[in-house]
Each structure stands twice: as structure tokens, then as C-alpha cells.
Structure 1
């Protein structure tokens, strides 16, 4: 059954209150930075959304969901699969709704040549490995070598290649953090980092410190909020002080600020709340 845009958007927050507490500090901080008006803002053309956030409705209605995102104001999306469509078919749907899939999540073990060809058809400028997990540092080192080789192939094809973190990469194995293995064992020109801010904090790290440890390699943020007890939250409804993070890292501004929630209660409301939060945020 086709889901109409009007039905899908009914009940979405028209003017979401965007308030969030500073990281690990009680109290709230408004989207204007605790009442102070800052000049900087996230450029509209750098706002995107990870379609994994909307997977529950994408599975039933790709066209209607993408149309609704366009109505909210999105012009960019990050993909996580094509929901049974070919790359060319999915590109056609995107084009009809004036959306660009500038980025995509992918695996590393499939046919890399086909993945690159699909990325070109879809118009992806960036491709990121979405997940990896290994019990030993030796396996992480092997993975980093494969990551670098894949990145070299993507670079030659004119597509930026990167890795998207979760929290476990910041947990030490025999005294070594897998995240450090990835950054040390891959070349800057081959592998960028898509920093998921929720997972960096959940892994016990400081996103600003991590950003500058690998200065120049972070070109995408996953902007995902976190409740005090570590659950997912729509943007502005959790405890992460995004204004502080963006202000502190602005000298090396990233290319995309990608809205995401792994477990949204209402995917389209989450999408609209996230878009409005980033549009209204001042830092």
C-alpha cells in the first residue's frame, strides 16, 4: 500500500523545540548555544540524512518516503541499500524528487568494481564502510590493509572512501584501540573517517579530541543524539552538545552533517526534527 506524504507527515513536529544538555553536564543548552547568539550555522547544502533511519517505511514505500524527505527540505541523503531496486532505478527515484545520494554505506567484501560502478550511477561522491568488528589487533590490522586497498581503488575512480565508526573501536584490545590501528595503517589520501558522534561518546572518547588527533581526515559527521542512559534520541532531545562540537571543529569544517537515529520511534518525525535542529542551530 502506498503511503501518502500527507499521511506520513501528519503529526510531525512543525516547530520542534530543539534543546539538549551539554555532554555529561546536568541542565539544558538551547540550539542557540545556551542563550547566546552565534554567527555560524550548518549550511543547508551540507545537511543530509542516513536512510537507515527510515528503513521501516522505506521497505514499504521508497518513493513516498523520499518524497516526504524532500518536502521536509532535505536535498541530500546517505544510502544504506537500494531496497530491491537497481542502482539506475533508485537513481531515477532520487532524481524525480530532486534528491542527491552524495554518500552511501557499503561493505568491503563484495565485488568492489561493481560497487564502484553502482556508486557512479547513483551519483555518490563518498562511500563508507559501515561496520567492522574483530577480536584481535592482528585482525584489525589486516582489515585496515584491506580498507586502504579499497580506498585506493575508489580514489582512482574519483570517489572518496571512508570508515564509519561505532563505539567498540575505542575499546582497547591488548592495550591498543582499533580506531588507532585504522588511522595509522591507512593512508590519508585513501581513507577518510565518517565520525559518528553518538558512538564516539558511547565508546568513552571525546569527539573534539579525536577529530584533531586525525586532523583533516574527518569529512562527515553522523549527528545522532544520546539520552543520559545511553539510548538513542532525536536531535535536540538528548545530552550531546553539538554546538560545542561544531564550534570547536569549525576550522576544519566537515562536508556533510548527516542526521541519524538507529531506533527512531517515528522515523519521519525524527527526520523533520533533525532537519529543523540543524537548520536552527547556531554556534
Structure 2
């Protein structure tokens, strides 16, 4: 992960690039052009939960279509009735890597580690928990830190994926603050879902700054004006502004309720590939 100095220098340089006026001859690269950042193609991924409605019993046609779009990485939400080894083979056939997976930690952690290593995961992420009391959140945080320590020793990074409720008060305290204070950045990173952060009333950039460098992955999910899910670039979230001020290793396309899942996947990939910030 980058140092704080590198992070700040990159953000300042990107901001300067946006501010620089361009009066150069058309077709000639300017200082602004050279400084303009983009999402590296190797950092673009997609959460397969987006495509759950069309996966069925045979995920291979969908995985093949994702590879044709340009994806080389995916994030798992299960292995569709196959063992870790079987699904890893399916991914390899289509030139895909499952660099991340959504998995719970309250089951067999040895199995979680074994499956993650078989699948080639780098990140294992807790996708969802919700508790009604502060004591339950604190107890979960203790388990999360212990699981993160175990996974780190196996060469994996354990993350936590937010929804909106982590930013709402429970007995006067935000669960998100309980998680970040009760775990170490050595053992638990953050996968920040940008849609749910906005719904939760927080500024994603401020979250990244406050917890730098723990935010390592983004769920890049857009929000329509009416609050519903939207394909990337068709909603209201200022992704360019967020990306300009932050630095993560994976930008994961997601839409919880896509109208056309493969169209959503293509729109998302093209948007991230073409975005300049």
C-alpha cells in the first residue's frame, strides 16, 4: 500500500491537473493531459452478485461474456454449487481471476482459508452483518480482528464491506466506528461500498482520509436521483471526484438490482476504462 506522503502527493498532483487551463494546439498533449489519472484496467473487477439472476446452474456463458467485455478479475459471492477447485478451473478456462470473495467468518475459518487459497483470492471480505446492540457489534469486532490475524498469517487480507446501517447510531455510537477502532489496519482492511456510504450520509473521500490506508477496495455502484440503483455514469455519484482524492487497489463494479445484468457489466467496465480524473 502507498505511504501517506505518496497518497497526498498523488492527490495534490491530480487536483493540480484538473485545475490547469488548457490552451494548447488541438491534438497536442498538454501538462493537464499528462497528469490526468485513469483507473488501471488491471484494477477493474465485478462482483458476481450483480449477475446472480442469469448465472443459473451453468455460470460459464456468463463468465465468458465478462471476459469478452474485458474483465480479467471478479469478486465472488459463492461458487455456484462447485468446489473451490472446480470453480477455480472454470475461471481459468475464461481467463478470469477471483482476486476477492465475499465470505462469512463465523463458520469454519480453516475452510475459508483453504478455499481462498485454492481460488487464488487475495482479499476475503465480510459482506454483511447487522446487530441491534452495541455489545453485539463489539463482540463481532473482536471476532473480526481475530479472523483477520489468522487470514493474514495465511497470506490473505480480510476486509469488511459496509452498507448504510453501519453509519447510523446504535446506542449513541456508529457501528462503523466500533469496527475501525476495534480492529487493526494490519488485520482488517475496508471495502468501501460507495453507494451505501452515500446513502448512509457520509462522504467517501472523508472516510478514506480518516482511515488511510485501510480502504483498499471500492464497490463502484451508482445511485439514481430517486435513490435506486443505477448503472455507472447514469446516476448522481461523483466518481471522478472520489477517485481523484483517493487511491485503492480494486474498483469493483456492482449493481444490486440490474435491469439487464450483462448490459450493466458492460456499461460499468466501459465507464471505468474511459473515465479520466
Q: TM-score, normalised by structure 1?
A: 0.85
Of structures 1 and 2, the one with the larger relative CO (CA 8 A, separation 6+) is 1
- Superposed CA deviations along residues 224-253 of structure 1, whole A, max 9, x for unmatched, are 00011211001011000000000011xxx1
Within the alignment, does 1:78 sit opposite 2:79 as a pair?
no
CA separation of 1:65 and 1:160: change in aligned 2, threshold 3 A: same
Q: Which residue of 2 aligns with 1:178?
A: 175
Q: Which residue of 2 aligns with 1:188?
A: 185
SS state at 1:261 partner: coil
Q: Which residue of 2 aligns with 1:280?
A: 274
Q: Which residue of 2 aligns with 1:53?
A: 50
Q: Distance in 1 between matches of 2:205 and 2:106?
A: 31
Instruction: Name stretches of at least 5 consecutive residues in structure 2 with no aligned partner.
Output: 1-17, 23-31
Shift of 1:60: 3.9
Q: Which residue of 2 aligns with 1:154?
A: 151
Shift of 1:61: 2.8
Q: Among residues 249, 254, 263, which one is paired with 1:260 in the alignment? A: 254
Shift of 1:57: 1.0
Aligned partners of 2:57 and 2:80 also within 8 Å: no
Relative to total residues, which structure has the larger helix share, 1 or 2?
A: 2
Shift of 1:175: 1.6
Within the alignment, does 1:201 sit opposite 2:198 as a pair?
yes
Shift of 1:268: 0.2
Within the alignment, does 1:233 sit opposite 2:227 as a pair?
no
SS state at 1:229 partner: coil
SS state at 1:193 partner: strand
Shift of 1:95: 0.4
- Superposed CA deviations along residues 29-79 of structure 1, whole A, max 9, x for unmatched, are xxx99x996710000000000000000111243010000000000000000
In the TM superposition, structure 1's runs of 4+ consecutive aligned residues that sit over 2 Å from their partners are: 35-38
Aligned partners of 2:45 and 2:72 also within 8 Å: yes
Q: Distance in 2 between matches of 1:163 and 1:59?
A: 27
Q: TM-score, normalised by structure 2?
A: 0.87
Q: Distance in 2 between matches of 1:154 and 1:66?
A: 28
User: How many equivalent residue pairs?
Assistant: 248
Within the alignment, does 1:62 sit opposite 2:56 as a pair?
no
RMSD: 1.5
Q: Matches of residues 55-134 of structure 1 in structure 2 within 5 Å?
A: 55-134=52-131
Q: Which residue of 2 aligns with 1:219?
A: 216
